[in-house]
Amino acid sequence: MGYFKINLGDAQTDFRKEDAMELERIYVKKAFQNKQIGQKMLDEVIEMAVQRKMRYLWLGVWEKNTRAINFYLRNNFQHNGSHPYMVGRDLQTDKIMKLQLL
């Protein structure tokens, strides 16, 4: 159906702050999309971050994934920079988005 992956401390890909948690991946199989599963997973991740007393939750999302960007914006994430990366010979960019918790 789907999964998420979080990173804490040195496992984070960019910020590596002790008071932050990275949501590295959140996926829902196509057959299960539009059933609020992604929202439930995100709510669980936010609760995990709050329980750990994190200041913020952050993630990178591909700049052309407007559906995901809009999902995060609806959940009060804000744009907070960008991160370029290579896929083969193709330069792509992730938007960095943060959700302030404390």
Positions annotated as catalytic residues are 72
Helix (H) or strand (E) holding 50: helix 37-51
In angstroms, the Cα distances linking 39 to 42, 67, 93 are 5, 13, 24
Counting every residue written for the chain, the total comes to 102
The CA-based dihedral angle spanning residues 51, 8, 2, 62, taken in that order and rounded to the nearest 10 degrees = 120
